[in-house]
Chains A and B, each alone.
Chain A
Amino acid sequence: MVLNMNTNMWALYAREVKRFQKIWLDTIFNPIVSIALYLGVFGIVTAGREVGSLPYLTFVYSGLLAMLVINNSFSNPSFALVISKNLGNIIDLQLAPIAVWRIGIAYALAAFTRGVFALVVALLATIWFIPGLGLPSHPIYFVIGLFLTGLEFGMLGVAFGFWAKNFEALTFMTSFVMQPMIFLAGVFYPIASLPQPWTTISLFNPIHHNINFFRYSLTGYSDLNPLVSLVVILAFSAVFFVAMQLAAKRTIVVK
């Protein structure tokens, strides 16, 4: 009997990577256009301003890159799974001899890959316009931050994808939960500039810690100790893994 769980899981990962490669227009141009639009607007409005010793545009840019990774990692599996449910080919996952947690991890890793792909495309297209930004200030933190952020929100996307019964439920979560959390996470401003209690409340927003850690790894600037953010990222990754497991199990094997 052939039962190589690693082969099975990596085949599913490869299928998901291939799937987003098939929609290459969206995969390539979406990150470039969204980053370019933000840069265009913020570049004009905030010219000459600084956050600490960092040019404001560099500050925003590093946050935008983290946001891009989060958005792409989240939306790739969540939309893929809801589409699968609508088309009915979710049955391929239900019938496949792959452990539920491996299905989740395969989708989350593909989501991470999509996040990295979006980041690389956006960097190649736009980094030339950012003052004083070259190699990451903390390359190892950068790699860790990128991996954890992609995987963390990939797992959340998988959880939402399995949980959402239809597109309406998914877009509700995206529009009313994810987007507000991203915009209130300090992408466009340092959270210390907010009045209380919003500064404190922002500390409980998990996305803030991803932005903070990613920005620190790239530019050396942070709103709070990056190691605290790393611990929070790890903790939320564990929570999202459990959520992914529960949601996937409920869909793959129906009680």
Chain B
Amino acid sequence: MNMLPLRVNNVTKIFKNSKGQEFKAVDGVSLDIEPGKIFGLLGPNGAGKSTLINMISGILLANDGNIEVFGLDVKKDANKTKQLIGVVPQEIVMEMAFTVEEVLYYFCGMYGVPRHERKERIKAVLEDLGLADKIHEKARSLSGGMKRRLMIAKAILHKPKLLILDEPSAGVDVSLRQKIWSLVRRLNDEGTTIVFTTHYLEEAEQLCDSITLIDHGHVIKSGKLKGIQQEFSKNSIHFELFDRSVAPLAGVVEVGVEYEYPITTNLATDMAKLTSHYNHNLKSIRSEAASLEHIFLKLTNNGS
């Protein structure tokens, strides 16, 4: 039995629109996620990330391929795999009539947490998330950021081995985002494998061991973050300009707010060529590792 926390094997999902036309939201995607890692699933809007997460969570059936969580098939062993996974969905949803404690109490029960353990667990999780003083408040009266934390609390109460977070920091302020990521790091240190999607690429850069970039339902790049960064950094110089209307040097490519110039002879000569052409218009110039944003834009063709 393969005991990888998550193995996605050639998975395809096809949707039909109201006119009966087929659309492949996920097309032959394969992923292997190693135990104890933080894994980033990145891609532009509509890339197929949430569809893939829904299939991993067992709420959407794949048309083709299979998904295993700790060696168990998500379709055949749905309830066992759901027990192993904690999911923080993108949308904030909850039973609005209940207090925070009630929401979590019944959620614990739905995941099989024995009655005598529930209150302790709820207390500990709420303290971790800075919501301990809100325990008796109605869930609907919480602020947006607090509701987001409550969503995270729901997902981690049953101590899942694999935690999936779909855009967990969307719409939360910087301070809360930092708290969420520090909790994610701590859970990871305790052995939980983390899979998350995010639009905050700099955070993926800080947190992830490995990433997969998806676009139009296809995996366009997958691997260790550092390796990918090295691959995209070698043989090119990145620079920014004060005045972007200046005629570009031949071979320069625009990548987002930056420009990229391939090293043709050697680094020193090409640097000199660039500084001579752009002169005082150069705002910054570097040949270090490419940023994830740069790689993302380049691979999704938004930066050229």
Contact = CB atoms under 8 A, between A and B. Distances in A.
B11 interface: no
Contacts of A99: 79
A95 B87 contact: yes
Nearest to A251: B59
Interface residues of B, number: 35
A246 interface: no
A254 B97 CA distance: 27
A interface: dominant SS: helix
A19 B139 CA distance: 13
Given A1-B84, A254-B60, A22 B97 contact: yes
Contact of A95 (B57, B97, B102): B57
Interface in A1-23: 1-5, 7-8, 10-12, 14-15, 18-19, 22-23
B51 to A, nearest CB: 11
A96 B93 contact: no
Interface in B80-99: 80, 82-85, 87, 89, 91, 93-98
Interface string B156-173: 001000000000000000
B217 interface: no
A91 B106 contact: no
Contact of A18 (B60, B80, B94, B98): B98
Given A253-B61, A254-B61, A2 B96 contact: no
Interface residues of A, number: 31
Contacts of B274: none
A99 to B, nearest CB: 6
17 contacts: A2-B114, A3-B83, A8-B111, A10-B109, A11-B109, A11-B110, A87-B93, A92-B110, A95-B82, A96-B110, A97-B80, A97-B82, A97-B83, A97-B112, A98-B79, A98-B110, A253-B60
Interface of B: 54, 57-61, 78-80, 82-85, 87, 89, 91, 93-98, 102, 106-115, 154, 158
